Amino acid sequence: MEYVHLGRAGLSVSRLCLGTMNFGPETSEEDSFAIMDRAHELGINFFDTANVYGWKQGEGITEKIVGNWFAKGGGRREKTVIATKLYGSMGDWPNDDHLSALNIRRACDASLKRLQTDYIDLYQFHHVDRNTPFEEIWEAMEVLRQQGKIIYAGSSNFAGWHIVKAQEEARRRGFSGLVSEQSHYNLLTRSVELEVLPACDDYGLGVIPWSPLAGGLLGGVLRKIDKGRSASPTMLSELEKHRDKVEQYEAFCDELGEDPANVALAWLLEQTAVTGPIIGPRTNDQLEGSLRALEIKLDEKALTRLDEIFPGPGGPAPEAYAW
């Protein structure tokens, strides 16, 4: 396993981040335990979750599964860099969501209880809260850090200017601010290259791409359909929008002799400021297969071909659309 620092932080994390969103809705607790155990055996130390995962309001099902796994002992908690998130609704009452100081305090305490731990390594804002000033947000996070409940702060789904605003307010307060940003980023979705990636690079934030396989479109979907695998109506609809690109992509992966999913992950690992993509395996076979991405080295010719199939925005702003 390869390890890198998370952005400018001294924290070392694996180049693949284990996403737990399937734990509960798609994967049983027993199988989830097996996947997390195997992740440690493979050297993956970076796990990502969120208080809303499990998708039953207020229950935090996925965090509870991770917490039950930690409770098994054996160094599981100590070997894990656990990242969780807050923002989404955990109840029907006012202040049960978003980033008010009150919800930050309550949400953190609730996540700690579900995770059965006394600290969170990386506490992330799941979305930008346009109605709460960063003065309030950072004051609440400073208190959590002073209390030893969190170590690092991160964002998710922030625009470039949100990152700048957050970091400048943190700097004014003498606080470390954000060390990471989770963004929707893959070969099909590249708009973050305009301003989010440059902002992260400049401020020293590690980028953690989510949906690296574009919901499965980059995971060899045509091969799977040809083999008789069923696809959801949503997947088929998305496939029709991008069929030409997906056909070219899978043909190119055939030329490389590599699985499309692993090429998509390997491409992300080549991108500026990227720490590591989030993988969301439902089985140990899927988990182990993802490690091949760390061995794939895409040369300039391959990267150019991928840019031809999936043109990005043209580089960072403003050169992408101006001089």
Annotated catalytic residues are 53
Distance set, CA 205 to CA 17, 109, 110, 164 (Å):
16, 26, 27, 11
Q: Residue 206 and residue 304: Cα distance in Å, rounded?
A: 24
Q: Are 189 and 268 in contact (CB under 8 A)?
A: no
Element housing 287 (H / E): helix 284-290
Element housing 210 (H / E): strand 206-210
> Which residues lie closer than 8 Å to 33 by C-beta, 6 or more apart?
65, 68, 69, 72
Measured in whole angstroms, the distance separating CA 159 from the mean position of its chain's CA atoms is 15
Q: Residue 149 and residue 155: Cα distance in Å, rounded?
A: 17
Percentages of the chain per state (helix, strand, coil), in multiples of 5: 45, 15, 40
Q: Are 175 and 141 in contact (CB under 8 A)?
A: yes
For residues 85-100, one letter each, b for 16 or more C-beta atoms within 10 angstroms of the residue's C-beta and e for the rest, the string is bbbbebeeeeebbbbb
**Nearest to residue 12, comparing CAs of 1, 3, 20, 21?**
3
Distance spanning both ends of the chain, measured CA to CA? 41
Element housing 104 (H / E): helix 101-115
Phi, psi of 22, rounded to the nearest 5 degrees: -80, -15
**Nearest to residue 45, comparing CAs of 71, 74, 78, 20?**
78
